[in-house]
Structure formats: structure tokens, C-alpha cells
Chains A and B, each alone.
Chain A
Amino acid sequence: MVLERYRPLIEEYDAFRAACERPLPSVVRVNTLKASVDRSRRALDAGGYAHEPCEWHPELLRLESRRPGNSWPYVHGWIYGQEEVSALPALVLDPQPGERVLDACAAPGSKTTQLAALMDDAGTLVANDVNLGRLSALRSNAERCGVTNCIVTSKDARSFSLAPFDGAQFDRVLVDVPCSCEGTVRKNPTALDEWSLDRVKGTAGVQRGIVERAVQATRPGGTVVYSTCTFAPEENEAVLDHVLDTEDCRLLEFDAPLETRPGITEWNDEQFDPSVERAKRIYPHLNDTGGFFCAKLEVKS
């Protein structure tokens, strides 16, 4: 079993494994561009969708049973189905109205639409995804949410060009990279079936290229948030260690409203830069969510 390799990293390993076996509750995020949390909750109540807000973020609502795809609040674009823990990186990026923001691997758009809401639909949000097949989902989700400040591009994020934007760098970039998705095992029990160390290493090569380019595309003093939904240090701390080495940037401490564990500085005889401890690991048993990894970088020059 793939997850066995993480036994040395996780104190409460049995609780971790047990949590990975449990299905995840259905969660929606309120799209505050179109409706308030109050109004969305009233509409869910009227449709008979019992729900509770997540303690750590009141815009996230945990549904007790049915998925609300065929409900009025969904039709109006007031709610967006999103795994609870995946709402974290946009909050850590903390984009402000009026800024220039890039979502480097954006499809299908859950984080893009969250970023647009945090920006109050003001400023410029570039949502990029290399996968043309997923682009239509990104576009329709952004449109259903009423996002008007978003530019959609379909480029390889490793060579993302600023030329169409007259060379203007970004204030903030979200790098929510494609990964081995180990942390989604609660949502998708077959997530680990295709796992191999070769695949992890190949994916990590792509991730390194994407985060390097993201740092280059960010103005000095700007912010890059790196996130994955996997536990693999090869795709997490090792990628950060690499970008700290090749680009002029540093890892920042940040507060997370969830229980987390620090990034690890050692894995399979490999040592990482000590500052990767500032990244945060989220295991499923800590907050009853999916698994996640999140780091905040500041671009120096």
C-alpha cells in the first residue's frame, strides 16, 4: 500500500489510515460575488438541503446528504462544489481587489472562482490551464459564478509568457500543480491505483518547472503560493527546496485556520532547506478533510 511509506512521517498513523478510508462529506463554497452566505443558506434550507458551516471558514458549507447540483442556489451560481481543504491556498494567497493575479493551473476553476470572489471581481485574474479538455469546465464555472475580471489562457505554465499582457508581472500567483493526488483518496478510492515512484518523480519535474516560472512571472515583493493534494515529499518539500535554490525567493511563515503539521526537512536520506518547515502538511485525520500541502513564497527580486 502506497500510504505505508508515510508511516515514519505521521505520529497518529492509524488515525491517518482510518481517515483515508472514510468518504468525504459533500461541501460547497458560497460564491460571494453573487450572493451572501445568509441568502445562500436560506435558499439551501428552502430546497431541503441540510447543511452546516465549516468551523474554520463560514463560506464553506458541509451538506448532510444530497449534492445540490439541481438546486436553485446552484443554478444561480451562488454555490460551488469544492473539497473543503482545497479552499485553503486561495486564502493563503490573499489576493486584493485591483491586483494582478495568476492562477497557473486553473481548471476546472474552483480556486479561480474563489480568487475572483476574494478580489471582489476587480483587478485582473489570469486563469491558465494547459489542458484544453478541461478549459471548457473552467470557462463555464467562471461564467456561472459571474466572474468578469478573469482572462482565460491555455499555455504550458512552465513557459507562461507575459507578452500578451504587455510584459506586466503579477502581484500574486497561485501554483496549485497537477500532482499524484494521494490526498484525494477519500473522494476517489482508486486515486492510488496508478501510483508509481517513477510517475511521482516525473510529475515533480513538471512541478519544479511550473513553480520556477511562477516566481519569474511575479514582481519583486510579490507572493507565490504552492499547493498540492498529495503527501509525497518528492512533490512537496523537494520541489520547494529546488525553487529556493534556482530562483530568488524565500518561504514565509503563515497562519492557517486548520490544524496542520510542518513541512519535513528530511526524506529517504535527502536533506531539504530548513525553511521548508514553514510549509504546511494537512493529513485527513487532523480536520476530517482530504490531504493537502501548502507553502507561501515571497519573491525577492
Chain B
Amino acid sequence: MSQAAGQAAAVEESAGPDALPPRPWAAARWLGRVSSALAVAGTLGTVAIMTIINLDVGGRYFFGKPFPATAEIVSAGIVSIVFLQLAHAVGEGRSIRSDMLIGRLRRRSPRWADALDAVHHLAGAAMLAVLVRYVWPKIVDSIADDETVGLYGILQLPAWPFAVCVLAGAVLAALQFLLLAAAHARAARLGRAP
């Protein structure tokens, strides 16, 4: 195999199932920006978790003053962090999947591979829409009931900001899946630009 052919094959392979055909739409750019912003918030959340646990450990060991309700805050925080970062991870094609069949299909018939990809991403959008539909009332309830995160009598934070993060992340991830489905469908119809 010539060097160039080898490189081309490598590019083809590395353009794994999630690699995007060109996205000309403004909606895609905006979605990308909002996803990034949420991912930034999630990242800050990770740093916050690291800080709180270290304050708890240090405070307890050196000063006999633990940080209150650390376990409860971290437990609630991880769910928000995951959902905040989900849309960005979906957009970057980082969701975990098997690439055996689709990779083989892409080498033989890229357009059929894109069609299958469109179906998979549509399923992703549908399942996240279902999730949003059924998480929504739980979040409305948690606001109505003044639900809290933390420990009664020790430290309590309102639960709704945590819940809103989950909801926002799920909505955006659904949109990302939808956009990818549309892009793959377009590629299946028109073929990918060289």
C-alpha cells in the first residue's frame, strides 16, 4: 500500500461512526456554544467537588471542623455534573458504542453507514426526549415541595438548581442527538463532501 493510500485508510478509519459530516447550519453552531457553556459549568462542578472534599478532610484532620453534609452534596452534584457534560460529549461523538459493524459498513457503503447512524442518533434523541418528559414532573415537584440537598439540621441547600442542571443537560443532549441524526441523514442522501 502506498503511503498516501495508507494515510487515507487511516483517516477513513479514524472518521469513526460518530465523526460528523459537514454541518452548515447555524443551529449547529449555537447548539455547540450552549453545550460548551454547560460543559464549563459541569467542569466547575468537578472542581467544586474536589475543593469541598479536601476542605472536609483538611478541616476534620487539622481543625476538628468537617465541612457539613459533604457526602450528600457530592452525591447530588455528580448527577448534575454528568448531565451538564453529556450534551458536549454527545456532540463530540464520545458516547460509547460498538464500531465493529458500522466501521465495516462504512468501508463498503458509506451512505448506508450514514443511514444506520441517522437511525441510531434518532433513537438517542427519542430516548432523551422520553427522559425529559418524565424527569420534568419530578423537577416541578421538587421545586413545589421545597426539596433540599444535604442533611436536616446540618446543612441544607435547595434541590432545584441541581434538578435544573439535569433537565437542561438532558434537553440539550436530545437536541445534539437530533442534529447529528439530521446531519447523518443528509450525508446518507447526498453523500459526504470529499
Do the two chains bind? no
Residues of A in contact with B (beta carbons under 8 Å apart)? none
* Residues of B near any A CB (own CB < 8 A): none
